[in-house]
Structure 1
Amino acid sequence: MRFTLSSTALSCKLFALAKVISNKNSLPILADFMFRTEGNTLFITASDSENSMTTTIELSDSDVDDSFAIENHSLLEAVKSFPEQPLTFEADKNDKIVKIIYQNGQFSLPIESADVYPVAAKIADIAVSIQLSSALLSENISRCLCATAQDELRPVMNGVFFDITPEYLTIVSTDGHKLVRNRIYDIKNDVAASLILAKKPATILKNMLAKDDTLVTITFDNRNAEVTFGDTRLLCRLIDGRYPNYNSVIPQNNQNVLHVDRETLLGALKRVLPFASDSSNLVRFRIDGHVLQLDAEDFDFSKTATERLACEYNGAPMSIGFKGNAFIEILNSYDCQEVDIQLADPSRAGIVVPSQQNDNQDVLMLLMPMLLNE
């Protein structure tokens, strides 16, 4: 078989697909890309047995519909340095070699039969489908990934939970200490349904989705989900299990509200955090009137830091401790100018929300406090 395509298009697609391939594969052929031609379209697939991604490239010419598999590292190294030019693939399945011809030379690589490449699972006929913009999905997944767990005993908490109802779509993640909940009111479904997307496909989507209004379609049954965007399709196995009742842990009566500039607080936390204990990362928030004081200390190495910043606060004076690096992750996940920190008392979870929510959205992040030694 013989076909010609753009070197830049091929390189771009291969590096995106390579994120699916695992370093430790259950089958040797899963270290390969699978190439399949159909008319003047090339379909390229990468898989790790649980996740499979397929994308397409338009061909300049193609002589026959056929397929083969080729090892990913060798091909990636070969094509990554090419300037834009046509590449011609000539595959000889009898000799199990593909010759790749470019403007000033050629090289050859071994190939394998695509017949033994695993076939991706199919979505059941009875499935739920939702659509949302690429930018919206990317933003929500990015925000949730910082709160996913690494818990072997509770694998459901290692993923991102999508909960769709007749009222709204909720995208949630929690590791037991942090919780992120995103409600999107203009995406809903007549029948309630849910899925738990594993961290790997969620990370792939975060890195690949464009920050624009391109529509992304998510179709899922009780075992698998298919995410389609542009000319790419990601098929992934879902995490099986019942997600915790996340609404039950969100306080409903945190009456003390701290209003502060997000960038100012973020900068102050980054400056004091290096002085906190490496084991706890504890930063003390002392709030009194219009002043927020951040304190960090590591008595083992005689390190302390204090910084004060202006704020608006409507409650009684309070001291509450938070894990500094977790708070930084929360603030980095927002792009708003100001945030509200809703508090009840030093022993109860704090809620961080943007001072002004985006249209048709309700986003909050919860962080459990740390014990203070007064």
Structure 2
Amino acid sequence: MKLVTPRESLLKPLAAVIGVVERRQTLPVLANVLMQARDGRLTLTATDLEVELVAQAGLPVDDGEITLPARKLHDILKSLPDEAEVTLAVDGERALLKSGRSRFQLATLPAHDFPNTEDIPFEAELPIAQGALKRLIERTQFAMAQQDVRFYLNGLLLDWTGSELRAVATDGHRLALCTLAVEGVSAAPLQVILPRKGVQELGRLLGDGETPAVLRIGTNHAQVVLGDIRFTTKLIDGKFPDYERVLPRVGSRAILADRLVLRTALTRAAILSNEKYRGVRLQAGDWLLKVQAHNPEQEEAEEEVEVNYSGEAFEIGFNVAYLLDALGALPGELVKLAFTDSSSSCLIQDPESDSARYVIMPMRL
């Protein structure tokens, strides 16, 4: 295999797949990127056996295949000058990369040692704009659990209802739900759980706007095709909680507030909250919401926010980090916080749209 190309032409597809390569691997070949050249196209594949990324580029290259150390190759290409011409030649068990007066000799491993992806059957194929899919992920992924023994919570539920795609994440203390209508798809309803790493990597790859993407969902795998990049992930095998039972009905106590004003007030109050429990107390009265926080050092913070609320006064405690995550994910100028009583969960959403909803359980202070 021999390749002569501008640095950027090789760096771009390599950068697309490098995120899945772990620095510490049980199998040495998993630290490498598989490079396959055929008919003037170079295909780069990286995997950690859970997530696989494939990127293609049209380059003048001789047919052949080999694996090269992914991180080292990526770091070398990044360190070269812009628009530098790169020559990569493979000879036996070594690869020689040259650019100007720079020479790098890299160890290789045979391509046949690289894990081979079998043909995967998919039950549903959904055409979605990249920006819309990215919003689904960004507005829900923060609520995924981290290293929970209930392994099915350490991921993101994709729920295809037959007419809309829902992304749902929960760690048992809060829940995030975002929906997207998808037209022209006849696939039967199904639910799958994407693992945390797959969700994070997909979020990194997705672009904004109406650039097309294709989401394919199968029994054991999910795949997203983004032009010359193909993302494939194994699914978490488990039963996700019935999230619709968690969603509270619209409470009788609804507070309407300026989202950014409330968010900055909570951010300031959080400075003096208990570092371990992060609790804040909300006191709602006519046209005013008080935010109070204190810590074991007897320090206190109090913020007052003008809100649209008139009704029975009540107070309730929450983890301030959960509130800030939800307020940061919503896009609108206003936010609606709905309560049933002072001991029930809070439903947070944009008052003009229910496409994104957040449920937060209260805490005792």
TM (norm. structure 2) is: 0.95
Deviations 1:110-129 (A, max 9, x none): 111111100124312x5211
Q: Determine which of 74, 77, 80 is the counterpart of 1:76.
A: 74
Distance 1:347 1:151, change over 3 A: farther
> What SS does the corresponding residue of 1:18 show, helix, strand or coil?
helix
The aligned counterpart of 2:264 is: 267
Matched, 1:162 2:169: no
The correspondence for 1:367, drawn from 341, 360, 363, is 360
- 1:92 is matched by which residue type in structure 2? D
Distance 1:40 1:301 in 2: 67
Q: CA offsets per residue over residues 124-176 of structure 1, 9 Å max, x none?
A: 2x521112111111111112111101244311111111111223221111111
Per the alignment, residue 88 of structure 2 pairs with 89
Q: 1:141 to 1:281 in 2, by over 3 A?
A: same
Q: Answer whether contact 2:347 2:357 (CA < 8 A) is retained.
A: yes
- Give me the TM-score of the superposition, normalised by structure 1: 0.93
Q: CA shift at 1:190, angstroms?
A: 4.2
Aligned residue pairs total: 363
Point out where structure 1 has 5 or more consecutive residues left out of the alignment: none
Query: 2:124 touches 2:187 (CA, 8 Å); kept in 1?
Result: no
Distance 1:147 1:215, change over 3 A: same
Question: Do residues 239 (structure 1) and 236 (structure 2) align?
Answer: yes
* Secondary structure in 2 matching 1:80: helix
Matched with 2:58 is 58
Aligned partner of 1:34 in structure 2 is 34
Partner deviation per Cα, 1:303-331 (whole Å, 9 max, x = no partner): 10101111101431110111011111111
**Letter paired with 1:31:** A
The answer as to whether partners of 1:14 and 1:76 remain within 8 angstroms in 2 is yes
RMSD (CA atoms): 1.5
1:354 aligns with 2:355: no
CA contact (8 A) 1:350 1:367 kept: yes
For 1:112, the aligned partner's letter is L
Amino acid at match of 2:85: P
SS of alignment partner, residue 205 of structure 1: helix
In the TM superposition, what are the counterparts of 1:133-148 in structure 2 within 5 Å? 133-148=129-144
Q: Contact between 1:133 and 1:216, CA under 8 Å: does it hold in 2?
A: yes
> Is the Cα–Cα contact under 8 Å of residues 225 and 237 in structure 1 kept in the other structure?
yes
Runs of 4+ residues over 6 Å off in structure 1: none
Unaligned 5+ residue runs, structure 2? Answer: none
Partners of 1:41 and 1:265 in 2: CA distance? 52
Contact 1:120 1:235 in 2 (8 A): no
Pair 1:227-2:230 in alignment: no
Please state if 1:321 is matched with 2:320. no
Distance 1:166 1:39 in 2: 40
Between the aligned residues of both structures, percent identity stands at 25
Distance 1:347 1:42, change over 3 A: same
Larger CA deviation: 143-152 vs 337-346: 143-152
Q: Do the aligned partners of 2:14 and 2:55 also contact (CA within 8 Å) in 1?
A: no
